[in-house]
Every structure is written in structure tokens, then in C-alpha cells.
Structure 1
Amino acid sequence: MFVDHAKEAQDPDVSAVAALDEPTRRRLYDHVVRQPSPVGRDEAAAALGLARQTAAFHLDRLADESLLDVVYERRSGRSGPGAGRPAKLYRRSAKQVSVSLPERRYELAGRLLAQAVEESGATGEPVGTVLQRKAQELGNHLGRQESAGVFAFLERYGFEPRCEGDAIVLANCPFHALAREHTETVCGMNLHLLRGVLEGLGDGGHEACLAPAPGRCCVRLEPVA
């Protein structure tokens, strides 16, 4: 089952970007990631002309944000009694940081498209048909995980919902650039994703409809008559 890690990482990514806004911290981060092996506090302080305490503080902050990993190694090459304590070292973490305004969900779209292409290749079913089914299945799964209702879900995933009478219009498309270049494919995927969300939520009061309009998502949630 697809798990959208972007949802889980949204706030930590913002915090990580904010951490790198501090000039000394950014210099230390850049220094560590350029090195072929993990870097110690003394080494980093000497390289950048910082006090050891200052380097340690900023390196630990970068580690707290998961931008750097901490490892412990004995630099002397000795082991056993008398070898001393392992040194605390830092290296670039595997974490990927991505923040966009307005919010975009291109990874979600990319994974759905990749799944559709792979299944289509294996079964011969048209890619578009598979994509819509996969999108609806994912939407259903995500909807069942949401406890606060459709409006909260739409806000969480960057659709920027707005009430317009009894309807809900979506001021932002999380797949904007893709939708501009591949409108039929991406808007169809989005429509079925949100239909699945409504199913998963058990929301019988709205239905997802295609209603393209300038400056909005192509999907609109209309009240069920």
C-alpha cells in the first residue's frame, strides 16, 4: 500500500529549512556534506575558524533536524581497554528536504503514474484505466485514515479548500505543473483520488466533479442532491 511520506514530513521539512537559515549552521552543514568521511567537532571548528562549543551546538542542532547523522568511531585505530571513548562524528543524512509554496504533491503523482505504467505493462490494461483505479484505491485508503473530515483532509494535502455555498472549491492544485502539461491524465487521476477519499471518509454529502476554472484545481466537491 502506498504511504505518502510527504504528509508526514511536511512540518519537519519546514523546520529543517529554517535551521539552515542560520549562516554559521549552513556553513557547517556545507562543510560536512563535502567531506568524504564523517567529521568531528574539533575538525569542523578548525576548518571554519569557530570555537569548538559553537561548532558542537550547531552540529547537534543539524542532527536534531535529521539533516546530519551522528556516528561514533575511534579515530586512533585502537580498540579494547585503554583505547578511549569513540569520537562523536557527523555525516550527511539520507533525509530529503522539500518545501514548496503553494504546496505540491508531485511525488504522490509520480508514484501513482509509475504503478499504473508497471501494472499496464504486466496486464495489458490501458495505463489511464489503471491510473484511475489506483488513484481511487489510494484515495479510499487515505480517507479511511482521516478522522477529522473532508475539509481537514483537503487542507492537509494542500488543496486549500474554500466553501462556496454548499460546495467546496479547491484553490490550489497539488499537481499544478503536471496538470498544465497533461491535463486529461492528471485531472482524471485527481478526480478519482478525491472520489476515493470521499468513499474512505464515508462522506455521502459530497461528490467529486470535474469543474475546471482559472486559478483553481480542476475538481470541485458538489453537494449531493
Structure 2
Amino acid sequence: MNPTQQQASLSEAERLNAVASLGDPVRKRLFELIRRSPHALSRDDCAEALGLPKSTIRAHLDRLAADGLLLVEFRKVGDRTGPGSGRPTKLYTVAVGEVAASVPARHYDLAAELLAAAVQRSIDSSEAVEDALAGVAFDAGRRLGAEAGTIHNLLANTGYDPRPDGRGGTIMANCPFHKLSQEHTGVVCQLNGALLNGALVGCGDGDHSIEPDAELSHCCARIVPVR
């Protein structure tokens, strides 16, 4: 899983919590230590590397794990196995390679990844760039939709800020690609529409469809019930 996919696995609220967690200088040093390590580290490894008491290290490691930044595993270390070899050691690895959050939510990393993948697909296949972009974004949306389970979960987790429109549909009060959409409206709106249509397919949602939304204060698309 690449860093963009890792970040996408965290909701916007979880990313904000993670960034807040790393605001503590000890936790930031711990996270960087474990992120750079080629193998999982124990509490003792971390305490020795940072020159801090094990009790302090334990508390910060637990907080980083609770905030979704670290993964925990129990494994015996060393060459001894079998009875008498000791209890498994609690080890830590990073759960995400990088953490970023913004208010309101923005996902320029996702847009960049999709645009680069579309250009590469166009180069490799001689497919028109606009068609390659539509295909790449649709496939990404389908994957994200399957992971989210419902279109409204996906919209909330990706920072679209979904809100009822009073007519049975849903407007998206925030555009995750806002600045890009201001400067490259046609490209970004095509990307966004394909992403959301793919998400509906990934969610198995046949009750809604995507329509353009011309309201300048909203995202360029809205979710409407199928009549």
C-alpha cells in the first residue's frame, strides 16, 4: 500500500487526531525513529535510541498506536524458541508512511496520483489523455467505494462534507480538489465525476446517480436518487 492509499485509510477526523498526536515532540521523535527503521522496534529499542525512561516511551507508543499511527505485533525475538525461550516481545511498525490534514479537507495528493497515472496510461497505450483520466479515476473510485461500503461513508471520509439538499439528494459542500478546480476546472471536474461514478459502482449503489452541480459554493457534482 503506498502512502496515498495509507492516508486514505484514515478518515479526516483520524488524520487531524494523528497530526495533533505528532505535535508532541517525544511522539514525533518516536514516530520518525520507527518510520526510518528497517524492522519493527520494541519499547526497549526506542528507549535506548532516544535515551528516555521505558515508562515514558510506553505511554507515548500506546498513544501513537491508539491514534492509528503505529501497528503493534507480538513476536519472539532472538534465536531461542520453544519452552523457556521467554514471552513474545511487543513490537511497533508504522501504520502510515506520512500524515497530512487540512481544514477544510483537501486531497491534492490523490488528484496528483490520478493525473500522473492517467498520463502514464496514455503514454503506454496511446489512449487519449481525457479517456485515460476518466478510466483511472473511475477505477480508483470503485476501489474507494468498495472500501467505504456506502457512498455517504466515502463522501464523509474523503472530506466532501455531504449535506442533504432538501429534495432527497446530497450536495457536497466542500471540494477536496478546490484550488486545482479553480485553475483547471474542466480537467478536475472530469476527474471528480469519474471518481464519484466509480465509487457508486464500488459501493454497489444503484439507487443514486451523479449529476453536475452549478452552484459555485459547492463541489461540481451532487448525488441524486434514481427516479
Give the TM-score category using the shorter length.
0.5 to 0.7
**Secondary structure class of the residue paired with 2:9:** helix
Query: Is 2:120 the partner of 1:118?
Result: yes
Paired with 1:146 and 1:31, the residues of 2 have a C-alpha distance of 31
Contact 2:210 2:221 (8 Å CA) reproduced: no
Higher alpha-carbon deviation: 64-73 or 158-167: 64-73
| Counterparts of residues 41-190 of structure 1 (less than 5 Å) | 51-59=53-61, 61-62=63-64, 65-66=68-69, 93=94, 95-96=96-97, 97-148=99-150, 150-166=151-167, 167-190=169-192
Contact 2:6 2:96 (8 Å CA) reproduced: no
Contact 2:43 2:58 (8 Å CA) reproduced: yes
Match of 1:202 among 191, 200, 206: 206
Paired with 1:153 and 1:29, the residues of 2 have a C-alpha distance of 28
Which letter does structure 1 place at the counterpart of 2:171?
V
5+ residue gaps, structure 2: 81-85
Could you state the TM-score of these two structures normalised by the residue count of structure 2?
0.67
CA positional deviation for 1:180: 1.9
Paired with 2:199 and 2:30, the residues of 1 have a C-alpha distance of 43
User: Per-residue displacement from partner, 1:55-103 (whole Å, max 9, x unpaired)?
Assistant: 44335544665459999999xxxx99xxxx9xx9x99848331222222
Contact 2:8 2:158 (8 Å CA) reproduced: yes
Paired with 1:146 and 1:28, the residues of 2 have a C-alpha distance of 31
Q: Which has the higher contact order (CA 8 A, sep 6+)?
A: 2
Query: Is 2:185 the partner of 1:216?
Result: no
Paired with 1:15 and 1:92, the residues of 2 have a C-alpha distance of 19
Paired with 2:65 and 2:200, the residues of 1 have a C-alpha distance of 39
**Secondary structure class of the residue paired with 2:10:** helix
In the other structure, the counterpart of 1:8 is 9
User: Per-residue displacement from partner, 1:174-217 (whole Å, max 9, x unpaired)?
Assistant: 1112212211101111112222333442124x33224251x321
Contact 1:25 1:58 (8 Å CA) reproduced: yes
Paired with 1:195 and 1:5, the residues of 2 have a C-alpha distance of 22
Which letter does structure 2 place at the counterpart of 1:164?
D
After superposition, the CA RMSD in angstroms is: 4.3
Paired with 1:100 and 1:188, the residues of 2 have a C-alpha distance of 23
**Secondary structure class of the residue paired with 1:172:** coil
Structure with greater Cα Rg? 1
5+ residue gaps, structure 1: none
